Amino acid sequence: MTEWSIIWEARDAFLSGVLSTLLLFVLSVLAAFLIGCVTVYLLEARNLLSRALRIGIDLMRMLPFLILAYLLYYGLPTLGLKPSAWGAGLVALAIYHGAYFAEILRGARIVMPLGQIEAAKAHGFRPGRLYWRIILPQLVIRTRPLLGNQLIYALKDTAFLTIITVQELTAAANSVQATYFIPTEAFVVVIALYWAISICLELALKWAGRFGAKRGFEHV
């Protein structure tokens, strides 16, 4: 049992790893959600910008997350910017998952019935208010299972950032195992922590499902 007592001694490293991962996750997901919502709003208009955004979303869907993180962390210095690993990782997460959120919301926007939108227009809603008050809330409630799934992907993608030297949960496990030579125990603890976080996410998703059902969106 000595290995487990070493793990307990190193609990501070794991705790700061969890907090760092959670901070990255929460900040990036909030930013990504905002990016997704704004992108779908900009896609409402048919102009050059919306076409460029469509291409951007498709590009993100064809790239691995780590390549985007590499582009920002190793590529930006050539253009004169020098982001920190943490900042580059956060921005990469936000942009990448923002594109996925936009794609999910766009899919729901395409199949949305026209009647409500016409009714809102007849009542004098301007495009902006129409989107934020009528369209977006419905899109979010309708796509909540997919959005929740994407949250779990975002959580898992934070682990990639250990490769560009961000100090998060996987990096914490790696440094503990490198110091004490107890890889099995260190990684079992970390995998359990990731599992716990994603179970919490799934519970939150279930709660959101009940909320959606209350609002009459159970047939999704």
Partner 1 sequence: MNGQAWLLLFEGAWTTLWISSVAIAIGVVLGLGIALLRMTRIPFLEQLLVLYVSLARATPVVTLVLFIFLSAPTFGVAMDRNSAAILALTLNTAAFNAEIWRSAFISFSREQKEAALACGMTNFTFFRRIMLPQMITSSLPGLVNEMSFLIKSSPAIAVIGIVDLTRVTNRISAVTYEPLPPILAAALLYMLIIGVLLKLQAIAEKKANRLAM
Q: Which is nearer to partner 1, 61 or 133 (CB)?
A: 61
3-state DSSP: the chain helix, strand, coil percent, rounded to 5? 85, 0, 15
Of 45 and 199, which CB lies nearer to partner 1 in the complex structure? 199
> If binding is defined by CB under 8 A, does position 170 make contact with partner 1?
yes
Q: Is 77 in the site for partner 1 (CB under 8 A)?
A: yes
Q: Which is nearer to partner 1, 187 or 217 (CB)?
A: 187
Residues 16, 38, 70, 212: which binds partner 1 (CB under 8 A)?
A: 70
DSSP characters for 151-196? HHHHHHHGGGGGTTT--SHHHHHHHHHHHH--HHHHHHHHHHHHHH
Q: Which of 65, 2, 24 is nearest to 170 (CA)?
A: 24
CB of 90 to partner 1, least distance (A): 17
Residue of 6, 38, 42, 66 that binds partner 1 (CB under 8 A):
66
**Residue 185 near residue 4, CB atoms below 8 Å:** yes
Kindly state whether residue 174 participates in binding partner 1, applying the rule CB under 8 A: yes
The whole-angstrom separation of Cα 11 and Cα 13 is 5
The answer to whether 100 touches 62, Cβ cutoff 8 Å, is no
Residue 22, interface with partner 1 (CB under 8 A)?
Answer: no
Query: In this chain, which stretch among 37-45, 71-79, 109-117, 129-137 interacts with partner 1, using CB under 8 A?
Result: 71-79
List the one residue from 184, 214, 216, 219 that touches partner 1 (CB under 8 A).
184
For the chain, how far is it from start to end, CA to CA, in angstroms? 49
Please name which of 163, 161, 164, 187 lies closest in space to residue 174, comparing C-alpha atoms: 187
The reply on whether position 143 binds partner 1 by CB under 8 A is no
Q: How many CB atoms lie within 10 A of CB 176?
A: 25
Q: Does 157 bind partner 1 (CB under 8 A)?
A: yes
Binding site for partner 1 (CB under 8 A): 59, 61-67, 70-71, 74-75, 77-79, 152, 155-160, 162-163, 169-170, 173-174, 177, 183-184, 187-188, 190-191, 194-195, 197-199
